[in-house]
Each structure stands twice: as C-alpha cells, then as structure tokens.
Amino acid sequence: MAVLEVARRVRETMPGVFFAQVNRLGDRVALRSKHYGVWRPVSWREYGERVRAVAAGLMAMGLGRGERVGLIGENHPEWLYCDLGIQTAGGVTTAIYTTSSPGQVAYILSHSEARIYIVENEEQLDKVLEVRERLPDLQHIVVMDREGLRGFRDPQVTFLDELMAQGAEAAREAPRRVDERMAEISPDDMAVLIYTSGTTGPPKGAMLTHRNLVWTADALVRANPCYETDEVLSFLPLSHIAERLLSVFVAVRSGYAVNFCENLDTVAQNLAEVSPTVLFAVPRIWEKLYSAVTLRMQETDPIKRAAYALALWVGRARAEAVLARRPVPPALRAAYALTHALVLMPLRRRIGLDRVRLVLSGAAPIAPDILWYFWSLGVPIREIYGQTEGSGPTTVHQGDDIRLGTVGKPLPGVEVRLAPDGEILVRGGNVFAGYFKDPAATEAALADGWLHSGDIGEFDADGYLRITDRQKDIFITAAGKNIAPQYIENRLKFSPYINDAVVIGDGRRYLVALIVIDEENVTKWAQDRRLPFTTYGDLAANPEVRA
C-alpha cells in the first residue's frame, strides 16, 4: 500500500488523531488528576508515551488486531491510557460499568471473548476472580492500582506499571512495531464495543468503528467548536458513550485539557476548583446543583434572598429576549449587568460555573424549569440527544441556534426523519456497525438503512426536534389516553426534596407516582422543624413529609 494511503488511513483512526495531537501539542497540559490535595498535570507528550507503553505491553502479551479487551475503572488518567493503548495496538476496548455485578462482568467478558481484562483495583479484581472459572477465554488480568494487593500473587494477574515497563522495553527493542500495528488499522475496524443495558434480555454489544468515532467527534466540534484552551471536568462513567465522547474522543480531536474528579462525593468541590469552560452533565446533576443553591439561599437573610430573586427575574427576562432573538432593551441590559456582577457571577464562581461557555445536558430529558433556572443564572445549557448506537450525539443545539424544550437540530452530516408512528430514524457517519454476534438485532436496528432509535419525537415548524418519550415508556390509561410519563416525572423532580419519581398508570383509571425523597435535603428540612425520626423509612413515612 502506498505511503500516502497509509498516512490517510491512520489519520482516520482514533490513535492516528491522538498521536497527531501528541506531536502538535507536546508539553501542553492534556490531563490533570488530584493527589493528596494537589492537581498534577500530564502533558500531551507524557500522555502519548504512556499510551504507547500500554499498546506495546499489550502486544507483547499477545493482543492481536480486532481482539476485545475488557476495561473497568473509575475516571482516572490510567483509564484513558488503557483505552487508547488498546486501540493503538489494534484492539477493541470493551468498557464495563464499575457497578456491574460479578455475573454481569462474566457475561460481557464471555460474550466479547476477551482474553485480557484490565481492572482498576482490588474490588474489581475480586469480582472477576469470583467468576473466572466461567471464563475459559480469559488469560490475563491487569490491575491498575496496587493498594491492598502488595503481597498478592496469581499467575493470571499482572499490574499496569509492570505492563507499561515491559511495553517501554519492547518499544526500545523494536521502536517501529507499534507504528506498524497502527498502520494496519482500518478506519472501518471496530474501535470500541459498548454493551447497552438489556431491559428485556441480556445486554447487546454495540460496535463502533474508528470512522464512527473520528467522524462524530469532528461533527460535534463543527456544531459547537472546542479549543485546546478549553478545560473539561470528567466525572460521569467513562463506560458511557457520553462521557467517553467528551473526555476521550472530542478531547483528542480538540486538544483540550481533561480534569478528573476525585470521586463522586467530591464533584461539587472539584467543579468549583476546576471551573471548566466545557461541561457535560446529566439532568440529575443539574437538579442537584439547583437544589443546593435553592436550599442555601433559603438560609440567608431576607435582603440577600430578595436580591437573588430580583437577579433571577432580570436574568430570565434577558434570556427570553436572547432566545427569541430580540434586542435586549438598554434598561434591561443595564439591570442585568448590575445584578450579574453583584449577585449571579459570585454565585456562579462559588459553584464553579463562572468560566463555562459550552454547557451540555443529555442522556435523559431535563425539566424545562431547570433549563430556565440556569439560563436565568447566565449558564446557557444546550440539550444534546442521541444514543450509543449513534456514537453518542444525533442532535444538539448549535451555536446560537437554540430553542428550549427541544433537543436542537441534527449534527452536520446527520439525517433524521420520523417513521409513521413518530419513531426517530437516523442516518449518517455516526451510526454504528451493528450488534456484536447478533445479526437479527442488527437487522432490526438498521432496517431500510436507518437506525431505529426507539424514541418518539416530532419536529416543530423550524426543524427543531422534540422528544416525546421512549416508545416503550408510553402507556394507555383505562380511559384510552396516551400518556408520556417523563414530563410529569421531570416536573416532580424539580423539587429539591424529590430525588426521583416514576409515574405509572397503564390500564388504570388514574396515574400514580412513586416518589423517592432526597434524603439529605428532607433530613435537614425535618430537623429544622424538629420532626422525630430514626431511619430513612421513618422519615419517608412521616405524615408531614408525605404531605
């Protein structure tokens, strides 16, 4: 194959894009993680060296092109070294949620025929050791973190630092071997295998190619530009396509710095410390931030509460004008400048939203009240819609083309149409290659050359897509009325005292909501009113709480 053709092919793979950025950005910061209270940077050059070491180590371990490698762990730089190292060696990353049970781990490793499994720590190692008798294909287990395993010995188990040391040595002995493997990778080779939750059966493995990942990252950046000067906070599961897209694929495409949250308990603290410029979060995170601010303001003095209410009112009026593309009247512009400087910006700075410019919400519907709250605060949340089978995004609010209550318009190069029953159908470079070892499910998902999303939607007169509900979630009451429960559930969850809500009513004469209270907020509410309770159950059953 001609040298230029090889170079072109490599540029269309995720490792090719990654190493081009390594060469271009060199000593710029690529990653940061916090150790003992100090944020430690990793340069693009160091990032590249570690990915290359992982790739060489896996190749020395016998990883062949197209073979699947299991990967489980929290958000840390090592997760990215392994993910990109697997792909650089021509392998396929099969990410697994850290909350998976031993049985779920066994199913995914068995179905994907993984011979190598990379785990974060002792907890995840214990899970696979419990079920390894059911995994005859599994040959090697690599552990990232040695804590609690200093004296541990097992012929199947090695540690990531050992693997990387072996890889670095192998690279010194044969410096071109990794590059030669990269040159063999085709853009149409599978890059990642993502198992989607199975509600009516076992999970299915969605196959995404290098072309899918590179194309989608490029389309998303064209829709909403990202720059190497941007900062991102990574805290949602990397096994989910949404976080993977922002923390790995778009980060590699754009060259921005990814900051890793210490753990889920420190998200609020780390958000304030990092003050990212690009932020993606699921609706529950936005609801939590709203609840925290609302409850904090309730505890302040009347003057501060009045100033806060006035600032939100002014912010809402300005947001309505901006979204309607009307000129902001001079008096409103002046009022907003004053209230934003004195009230809203100090509040945003306190929670870490003072620098944010690109704000995305996705993976689930978000309540309109939450959207309006953050827009009033000066935080312009854009909704993004998609699914794993579409490499993440299908539609998004792009630039200033925003209409609240919709999920925007299709990404550049993506086609969206509606089936006669309202199901959203998708076609474009983001659509997956199919389900691993499941031709029947693949044929159903890609019938007539379109991805059948399973979601119901509608276009407004200006081409903005609105999601009605999941096709399977819509139910019919005894009176014959079609109900899409998500709208009602989102209205309920707007309360800072409600953690979750599920509306049911299929075949019933009336609707019923199952409410899960927010333990922390309701506990404080009850303590302030001196209501007696001993357990969460007592608290939830208290008549005043239920009222």
pLDDT tens, position by position, 143-161: 999 888 888 889 999 999 9
CA 392-258-53 angle, to 5 degrees, is 95
- 195 — pLDDT class (breaks 50, 70, 90): very high
- 4 — pLDDT class (breaks 50, 70, 90): very low
Q: How far apart are CA 202 and CA 111, in angstroms?
A: 10
The CA-to-CA distance between both ends of the chain, in Å, stands at: 73
- 547 — pLDDT class (breaks 50, 70, 90): low
Cβ atoms 411, 388 nearer than 8 A: no
The CA–CA distances, whole Å, from 324 to 361, 461, 464 equal 21, 15, 14
What does the pLDDT read at residue 3? 40
> How many other C-beta atoms lie within 10 A of the C-beta of residue 430?
28
Q: What are phi and psi of 227, to 5 degrees?
A: -130, 160
Between 420 and 543, name the one with better pLDDT.
420
Query: For 163-180, what is the mean pLDDT?
Result: 90
Share of the chain above pLDDT 90, in %: 70
Within the chain, how many helices (H) and strands (E) appear? 22, 25
User: Which two tokens mark 57?
Assistant: 């180590």
| HSE-CB for 485 with a 13 A CA cutoff | 21
Query: For 449-468, what is the mean pLDDT?
Result: 92
> How many other C-beta atoms lie within 10 A of the C-beta of residue 158?
16
Residue 199 has pLDDT above 60, yes or no: no
What does the pLDDT read at residue 479? 46
Question: Which residues lie closer than 8 Å to 179 by C-beta, 6 or more apart?
Answer: none
Query: How high is the mean pLDDT of the chain?
Result: 89
- Computed from CA positions of residues 70, 74, 75, 81, in that sequence, does the dihedral angle turn out positive or negative? negative
Between 105 and 297, name the one with better pLDDT.
105
Identify the weakest region by mean pLDDT among 339-353, 400-414, 506-520.
506-520
What does the pLDDT read at residue 71? 98
Q: How far apart are CA 87 and CA 394, in angstroms?
A: 24
DSSP state for residue 398 in the 8-state scheme: B
Q: Please report where in the chains the tokens 């983001």 appear, as a residue.
A: 430
Q: Please report where in the chains the tokens 């040391």 appear, as a residue.
A: 165
Of 164, 183, 138, give the one whose Cα is nearest residue 82.
164
Query: For 240-257, what is the mean pLDDT?
Result: 95
The residues facing 384 across adjacent strands are 396
pLDDT tens, position by position, 60-103: 999 999 999 999 999 999 999 999 999 999 999 999 999 999 99
What does the pLDDT read at residue 161? 94
The most confident of 476-480, 486-490, 506-510, by mean pLDDT:
486-490
Residue 8 has pLDDT above 60, yes or no: no
Axis-axis angle for helices 44-60, 177-184 (nearest 10): 80
SS3 57: helix
Identify the weakest region by mean pLDDT among 137-151, 193-207, 510-524.
510-524
Domains (range + CATH), the chain: 3-185+233-249 (3.40.50.12780), 283-354+356-470 (3.40.50.12780), 475-546 (3.30.300)
Ramachandran class of 27: left when φ > 0, alpha when ψ lies in -120 to 50, beta otherwise:
alpha
What does the pLDDT read at residue 411? 95
Residue 107 has pLDDT above 50, yes or no: yes
Q: Work out the burial of residue 547: count CB atoms within 10 Å of its CB; fewer than 13 is exposed, 13-18 middle, 19 or more buried.
A: exposed
DSSP state for residue 390 in the 8-state scheme: G
Residue 126 has pLDDT above 60, yes or no: yes
Q: Which helix (H) or strand (E) holds 17?
A: helix 14-25
